Chain A
Amino acid sequence: MTTHDTDARVRVRRYSGLARINHWVVAISFVLLMLSGAALFYPTFFGLTALFGGGQMTRWLHPWIGVALSVSFLGLFLRFFWANLPEFTDFVWVARIRHVLSGHEEYLPEIGKYNAGQKFVFWSQFVLVSVMLVTGIGLWDQGLAFIDQTFGFVPTIDQRRWAALLHACAAIVAVTILIIHVYAAIWVRGTMSAMLSGVVSGGWAWRHHRKWLRKEVGRRISPAE
């Protein structure tokens, strides 16, 4: 895809096939939720309901896609949990965010599998997906019927109003973080292949996640040829 890929003599496996499938299920659900959610959020975007078969279908589908996202996101969460625990270098990374943004990674400490920015995406999306799951059930007739049957809980109208407001706010923040996530993958060249083929070049790993590369080299190395 990019020039260095062909130059790279060392290639490092970053994501297994299952991890990538899991990631793309989350990604596709997220985009579908974003489109159907935007249609219900602002009249200008109501036309997007046509993509889902009309207003009634959009209203019916959105929560079920939400369930699919919640389940698949839980998969990603359990998969990447240990690699996303905070550590001291994260604070250094944040303190030197200026060098991160200008691409001067030589001024940064060696990074493990994830840097503080990636960990931020991980944890904030975990919180936001949880908020949207809970508030989303509060806005969903079938979901509420299920909750009523199982737990005997029926939210008041005021609680449903809060659910609507929080759901919208969480969605806005989640979309903003998605933009940062996608932009970072475009800006930092060679990143996409991690989620497409599961493999990154040795140079990419050296430049962005050297601590992780050292660990991987210690374990196993697969030369390109």
Chain B
Amino acid sequence: MATFQPFDVIRKSASVTSTPEPNRATEVVKLIDTSKCIGCKACQSACLEWNDMRETVGTNVGVYDNPHDLTPNMFTLMRFTEWENPKSGNLEWLIRKDGCMHCEDPGCLKACPAPGAIVQYANGIVDFIHENCIGCGYCVKGCPFNIPRISQVDNKAYKCTLCSDRVAVGQQPACAKACPTHCISFGTKAEMVALSDKRITDLKSRGFDKAGLYNPPGVSGTHVMYVLHHADQPSLYAGLPDNPRISPIVEMWKGVSKYAGMAIVGLSAIAGVVHYMLAGPNRVSKEDEENAEKLAGGKS
């Protein structure tokens, strides 16, 4: 496998000066083929192992999801959905490995107020640089997939790094390496799209005529892609967004409100200066004081 020059930054959070764009390195993609997943959670174990994280033992509430949600320690999570296909009458077990999608247009990066706390590398990986993170949780609001989690231990945001440190030395992500069914593949974008085409053709030949690739254009594509048997209904897969995009509320908050806000505050300050120059200070006159004296004198 090729190395991917992973630490060339092409985007950086909260930075007004634009990052000089290096030649875009080969973009990487992790392809998750939901049709091949057996729900063994080897990916979750490998993720905890590689990142040296431990998740506390939880309680069984009668679902397979374990832990019940992504946490600051658990960067990836198998989400299990039982779905009765109305066409075939079959009960289908849809298992999706949830985690950061590594959006080409990352909402977390857009929302982040701390310079350089979130970066996007030239290979497409979106990474949190923890020493710059201030723990404000804006990334949680920016993310269209509800992925980042804030640690109560060190007040920093955590999510899947796409094993940027492994990729840097030519290794594939830990989850892909651990996957026993080759459901998770890792490689260049071109390789992965070609692989997905093969898989989709195969699935279509087996009756999944709506099989397709999940690479949502609303976030300019992602560097984690899914092969879905029902690509026409992504939300079947434990609420995978059908048309994810950076929320317009976040766009307003991070866009027009900033410029309009600075303009309004700046203009009001200028208005004050102009008014002072035109009207001059509003001074109390001698007559005012005399009138007050008369008023007070008459009374006391």
Contacts and interface: CB of A to CB of B under 8 A. Distances in A.
Interface of A: 2, 4, 7-10, 39-44, 46, 49, 54-56, 58-60, 101-103, 139, 141, 157-158, 160-162, 164-165, 168-169, 171-173, 175-176, 179-180, 183, 186-190, 201-207, 213-214, 217-218, 221, 223
Prevailing SS type, chain B contact patch:
helix
Prevailing SS type, chain A contact patch:
helix
Interface of B: 14-16, 113-115, 132-138, 140-141, 146, 150, 155, 247, 249-250, 252-253, 257-258, 260-262, 264-265, 268-269, 272, 275-276, 279-286, 288-293, 295-296, 299-300
Contact of A10 (B137, B280, B292): B292
Given A41-B258, A102-B279, A183-B272, A161 B141 contact: yes
A213 B292 contact: yes
A176 B264 CA distance: 7
B295 A172 contact: no
A180 B276 CA distance: 12
Contact of B141 (A8, A10, A42, A164): A164
Nearest to B156: A56
Contacts of B258: 41-42, 168
A207 B250 CA distance: 49
B292 A187 contact: no
B268 A176 contact: yes
Contacts of B288: 4, 202-204, 206-207
Given A43-B115, A46-B115, A223-B300, A203 B292 contact: yes
A164 B164 CA distance: 31
Contacts of B292: 8, 10, 201-203, 205-206, 213
Contacts of A221: 296, 299-300
